[in-house]
């Protein structure tokens, strides 16, 4: 199954809005803002996010790839997932 | 041994700046700041605070994640003769509001990214006048009665010169909040003398030297994280500050690139490092590793030996009320792995019976501490202070700290942590009052009874479990309960396990009793996490 960038973005945003922001308004999640610094994710949620990416997009995230460059913003996650697919 | 001339905490920064102004003091996310730059910025913070009306002894709350602004800000507060209060950026609105009011903060320093948490708290903060906000932007609107200023703009306009502080060593330098058994946090009052004494003792036994480069992934709101920065100031080294350990691979890369020599950990971090060690990671440049919060298991010690082959490994114990108590000399970690060692320099401890009688080897009692690093008490809580700081039976006018921790000593005087005297849970190195968690659980509609207890956990020290009785017709999943807690509590306070039961044991007067809660729950469990 292939995922377009738009689809990936929507899935990632939905997951974060539903699970980490308790269904908050879509405008409250900015795609270029650090998820860690804005306290949308903590260490436990980070693991959930990685698990979500693995299960949804069907590849495994190597320890060395679990870095801010790939996970700290919605934009970074989308770019990383698209690159891996 | 060198006799230190320093008696005030901020003098460490002044001394290190005078010795090597151009040396890198702080590295944070690729930013490198020299001692001279830190000194200059701290001067600007102090001037800005004075401009905003901060006077000697005022409290300034730093509600910030680990950042350059936090590391510099606390010294700016000290240079303004004020008291810094670092509040963990994971703290939610209600608790932040409580702390702002409890210490009657005049100014808060925070970051626009935390606005959704601090804005409603500012409205409730009766004594607060100003908020200095990172990235607030020009012309930021006030929040209720609190004037909002952009951090960078305000600092740029402030004088960088230090005015001679008027404080003396017995003045307070910091208030650190810790979980209180009543459910309300209590502020541990620490003087310059307390903190300088602790920093001197610790850097002595760690054998720190000016070329040490220490990585700090622990929040500066936690005394163990805070002291890494204070101690780097003491010995004039370099701190590599990280926001967290959420991205272990990124931290490991920084450790290697920056040639880090000092690695402070808690058992959770040691567990994660184990996965990397198993894949062959080696960090030969590390000279020492420190661990506190809970004893390292033998497999963890073995892992560390391979991971950091050239390092001394220190197992330590302490509490916010006096920072640190003891450390195990690294050469003894193999023959006494479960001990937290002996008292650090400049202090004395006793294992005491209930009346203060000193107990002999292998007899369990409460650990009692005396020394220059023992706190002044809890901020504006004299009754609670009197429960923990009690007059010495030997020395007039000296107060001893009763830790609430049960300990025993062996024949050689090595100390072993046994457990808590009260029901305080120690998890991830932090203390959690069950009451604080229970208060949040009772806010969930349909919760009839709630009991929160700690259970032994190899990684966390203790893990938090909540037992809940729901009123008929109410139903939650364990996950829903955990989410409810996570929205209101710092992550370390959130239960790991939630077990639904048909009843919780009670005394004849109807008070919940946790004594037999485990045995009772075997038959009473109706859902949620298994026992």
Query: Measured between alpha carbons, how far apart are the two ends of chain B, in Å?
Result: 54
In total, chain A counts a number of residues equal to 85
> Same CATH topology for B9-191 and B245-420?
yes
The residue of chain A nearest to residue B281, with distances taken between CA atoms, is: A64
Q: How far apart are the C-alpha atoms of B79 and B173, rounded to whole Å?
A: 10
Give the residue carrying structure tokens 């810790």.
B178
Residue that wins the pLDDT comparison between A56 and B491: A56
Instruction: Look at the domain B9-191 and name its fold.
Output: Rossmann fold (3.40.50)
> What letter does residue B483 receive in the DSSP assignment?
H
Give the nearest partner residue to B249 out of A28, A36, A63, using CB atoms. A63
Write the CATH number for A59. Answer: 1.10.1200.10
Q: What is the pLDDT of residue B304?
A: 94
Indicate the pLDDT class of residue B212, thresholds 50, 70 and 90.
very high
**Total Cβ atoms within 10 A of residue B4:** 16
**Predicted TM-score of the model (pTM):** 0.92
Residue B425 has pLDDT above 50, yes or no: yes
What are A9-24's pLDDT values in tens digits? 999 999 999 888 876 7
CB pair distance less than 8 Å for B487 and A63? no
Confidence of residue B1 (pLDDT cuts 50, 70, 90): very low
Is the per-residue pLDDT at A44 higher than 90? no
Q: pLDDT band for position B156 (50/70/90)? A: very high
Residues of A in contact with B117 (CB under 8 A): 39
Q: Are B187 and B176 in contact (CB under 8 A)?
A: yes
Contact B163, B46 (CB under 8 A): yes
Chain B residues in contact with chain A using a Cβ-Cβ cutoff of 8 Å: 65, 89-90, 111, 113-114, 116-117, 243-250, 253, 275-276, 279, 483, 487, 491
Chain A: residue whose CA lies nearest to B253: A64
Query: Which structure tokens are listed for B147?
Result: 């004037």
Lowest mean pLDDT, pick from A33-37, B58-62, B417-421, B437-441: B417-421
Instruction: Using pLDDT thresholds of 50, 70 and 90, give the confidence band for residue B163.
Output: very high
Partner residue facing B249 (CB), from A22, A43, A64: A64
| Interface pTM, i.e. ipTM | 0.85
Question: Are A41 and B244 within 8 A, CB to CB?
Answer: no
Mean pLDDT of B85-106: 97
Reported as a pLDDT band with limits 50, 70 and 90, residue B114 is very high
Token digits of residue B434: 């069950």
Residues of A in contact with B253 (CB under 8 A): 67
Exposure string of B309-344, with b = 16+ CB inside 10 Å and e = fewer, is: eebbbbbbbbbbbbbbbbbbebeebeebbebbbbbb
Please list the residues that pair with B463 across neighbouring strands: B455
| Chain B residues within an 8 Å CB radius of A71 | 247
The closest of B441, B317, B307 to B369, measured between CA atoms, is: B317
Contact A39 B250 (CB under 8 A): no
Q: What mean pLDDT do residues B364-385 have?
A: 97
Give which of A77, A5, A66, A4 is closest to A34, Cα–Cα: A77
Beta-carbon contacts of residue B71 (< 8 Å; ≥ 6 apart): B26, B28, B38, B220, B229, B239, B241
Whether residues B250 and A71 touch (CB distance < 8 A) is answered with: no
Whole-number Å distance between alpha carbons of B249 and B226: 23
Q: What is the DSSP string of B425-443?
A: EEETTEEE-HHHHHHHHHT
Tokens 């305000």 sit at which residue? B154
Q: State yes or no: pLDDT of B479 exceeds 80.
A: yes
What residue segments make up the domains of chain B, in order of their start?
9-191, 245-420, 425-528
Average pLDDT, chain B: 94
Residue A2 confidence class, pLDDT cut points 50, 70, 90: low
- The rounded distance, in Å, linking the Cα atoms of B360 and B70 is 45
Share of chain B above pLDDT 70, in %: 99
H/E stretch holding B519: helix B517-524
pLDDT at site B6:
86
Going by C-beta distance under 8 Å and a sequence separation of 6 or more, which residues neighbour residue B343? B325, B326, B349, B415
pLDDT of residue B426: 86
Measured between CA atoms, the residue of chain B closest to residue A62 is B249
DSSP string, B267-303: HHHHHHHHHHHHTT---TT--EEEE-SSPPPHHHHHH
- Coil, helix or strand at residue B25: strand
Range of the domain at A43: 5-24+31-84
The total number of structural domains in chain A stands at: 1
pLDDT tops 80 at residue A1: no
Asked if A39 lies within 8 A of B113 by C-beta distance, the reply is yes
Q: 3-state DSSP: chain B helix, strand, coil percent, rounded to 5?
A: 30, 30, 40
Shortest CA distance to B240 belongs to which of B256, B137, B480, B224? Answer: B256
In this predicted structure, the answer to whether residue B3 has a pLDDT above a threshold of 50 is: no
A71 CB within 8 Å of a chain B CB: yes
Q: Which helix (H) or strand (E) holds B316?
A: strand B312-317
What is the domain class of B425-528 according to CATH? Answer: alpha beta
CA distance B132 to chain A (A): 17
The CA distance from B341 to B336, in Å, is 8
A65: chain B residues, CB-CB within 8 Å:
249
Query: What pLDDT score was predicted for residue B261?
Result: 98
Provide the pLDDT for residue B4: 52
Nearest-Cα distance to chain B for A21, in Å, is 9
Nearest to A67 among B65, B249, B275 (CB): B249
Contact A63 B279 (CB under 8 A): yes
Q: Please state which CATH class domain B245-420 belongs to.
A: alpha beta
Q: Averaged over B254-281, what is the pLDDT?
A: 93
**Mean pLDDT computed over B58-85:** 98
Tokens linked to B356 = 């203060």
Q: How many CA atoms lie within 13 A of B247 on its CB side?
A: 21
Instruction: Give the helix ranges, DSSP H, for B129-235.
Output: 151-156, 192-206, 223-235
The average confidence (pLDDT) of chain A is 90
Alpha helices in B84-166 (DSSP H): 93-102, 115-124, 151-156
Q: Which of B486, B379, B404, B321 is nearest to B98 (CA)?
A: B379
Q: Mind telling me how many Å the CA of B369 is from chain A's nearest CA? A: 34
CB within 8 Å: A39 and B117:
yes
Q: What is the CA radius of gyration of chain A?
A: 12
Q: State whether the Cα torsion B173-B87-B16-B318 is positive or negative.
A: positive
**pLDDT of B384 above 70:** yes
């Amino acid at each position: 199954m292939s995922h377009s960038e738009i689809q990936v973005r929507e899935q990632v945003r939905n997951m974060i809005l539903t699970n980490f922001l308790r269904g908050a308004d879509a405008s409250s999640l900015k795609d270029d803002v650090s998820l860690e610094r804005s306290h949308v994710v903590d260490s436990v949620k980070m693991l959930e996010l990685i698990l979500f990416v693995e299960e949804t997009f069907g590849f495994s995230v190597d320890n060395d790839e679990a870095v801010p460059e790939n996970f700290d913003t919605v934009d970074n996650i989308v770019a990383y997932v698209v690159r891996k697919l | 041994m060198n006799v230190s001339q320093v008696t005030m905490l901020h003098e460490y920064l002044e001394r290190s700046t005078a010795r090597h102004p151009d040396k890198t003091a702080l590295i944070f996310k690729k930013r490198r700041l020299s001692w001279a730059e830190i000194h200059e910025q701290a001067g600007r913070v102090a001037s800005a605070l004075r401009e905003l009306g901060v006077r000697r002894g005022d409290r300034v709350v730093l509600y910030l994640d680990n950042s350059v602004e936090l590391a510099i800000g606390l010294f700016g507060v000290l240079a303004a003769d004020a008291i810094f209060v670092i509040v963990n950026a994971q703290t939610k609105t209600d608790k932040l509001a409580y702390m702002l009011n409890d210490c009657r903060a005049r100014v808060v320093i925070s970051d626009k990214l935390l606005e959704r948490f601090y804005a409603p708290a500012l409205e409730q903060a009766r004594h607060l006048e100003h908020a200095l906000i990172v990235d607030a932007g020009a012309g930021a609107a006030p929040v209720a009665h609190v004037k909002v200023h952009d951090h960078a703009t305000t600092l740029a306009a402030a004088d960088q010169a230090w005015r001679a502080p008027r404080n003396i060593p017995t003045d307070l330098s910091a208030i650190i909040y810790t979980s209180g058994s009543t459910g309300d946090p209590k502020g541990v009052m620490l003087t310059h003398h307390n903190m300088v004494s602790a920093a001197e003792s610790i850097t002595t036994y760690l054998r720190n030297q000016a070329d040490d480069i220490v990585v700090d992934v622990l929040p500066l709101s936690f005394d163990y994280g805070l002291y890494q920065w204070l101690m780097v100031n003491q010995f004039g080294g370099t701190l590599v500050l990280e926001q967290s350990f959420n991205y272990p691979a990124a931290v490991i890369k920084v450790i290697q690139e920056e040639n880090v020599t000092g690695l402070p950990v808690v058992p959770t971090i040691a567990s994660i490092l184990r996965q990397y060690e198993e894949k062959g990671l080696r960090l030969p440049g590390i000279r020492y590793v420190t661990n506190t919060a809970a004893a390292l298991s033998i497999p963890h010690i073995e892992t560390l030996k391979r991971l950091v082959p050239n390092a001394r490994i220190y197992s330590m114990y302490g509490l916010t009320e006096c920072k640190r108590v003891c450390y195990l000399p690294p050469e003894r970690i193999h023959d006494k792995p479960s001990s937290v060692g002996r008292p650090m320099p400049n202090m004395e401890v006793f294992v005491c019976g209930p009346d203060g009688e000193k107990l002999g080897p292998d007899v369990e009692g409460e650990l009692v501490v005396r020394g220059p690093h023992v706190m002044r008490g809890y901020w504006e809580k004299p009754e609670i202070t009197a429960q923990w700081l009690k007059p010495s039976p030997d020395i007039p006018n000296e107060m001893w700290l009763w830790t609430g921790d049960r300990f025993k000593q062996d024949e050689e005087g090595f100390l072993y942590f046994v457990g808590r005297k009260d029901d305080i849970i120690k998890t991830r190195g932090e203390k959690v009052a069950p009451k604080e968690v229970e208060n949040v659980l009772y806010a969930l509609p349909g919760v009839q009874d709630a009991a929160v207890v700690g259970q032994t956990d190899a990684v966390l020290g203790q893990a938090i479990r909540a037992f809940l009785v729901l009123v008929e017709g109410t139903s939650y999943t364990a996950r829903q309960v955990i989410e409810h807690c996570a929205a209101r509590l710092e992550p370390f306070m959130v239960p790991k396990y939630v077990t639904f039961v048909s009843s919780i044991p009670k005394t004849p007067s109807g008070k919940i009793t946790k004594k037999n809660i485990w045995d009772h729950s075997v038959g009473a469990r109706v859902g949620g996490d298994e026992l």
